[in-house]
Structure 1
């Protein structure tokens, strides 16, 4: 699981791209997208 993708792409795109390989994508994105959004705002 490479969450680094969240740093490169919006969570929605990342999820749509990898959801076929990750069944937990939606659950993961709900948490990670918040982290990604906060990082984007803070940076």
Structure 2
């Protein structure tokens, strides 16, 4: 809980941490989509 109170004083830090998580999720998803797309091309 103390961490949250410290972070509330520094909202930019929270946003940056969230952005990092979101970007890594997007990177993972796009990589999976590329693999799926490649498999489709191979089967057609």
RCO higher in structure (CA 8 A, sep ≥6): 1
Q: TM-score range by the shorter chain?
A: 0.3 to 0.5
Q: TM-score if structure 2 supplies the norm length? A: 0.38
Tell me which structure has the larger Cα radius of gyration.
2
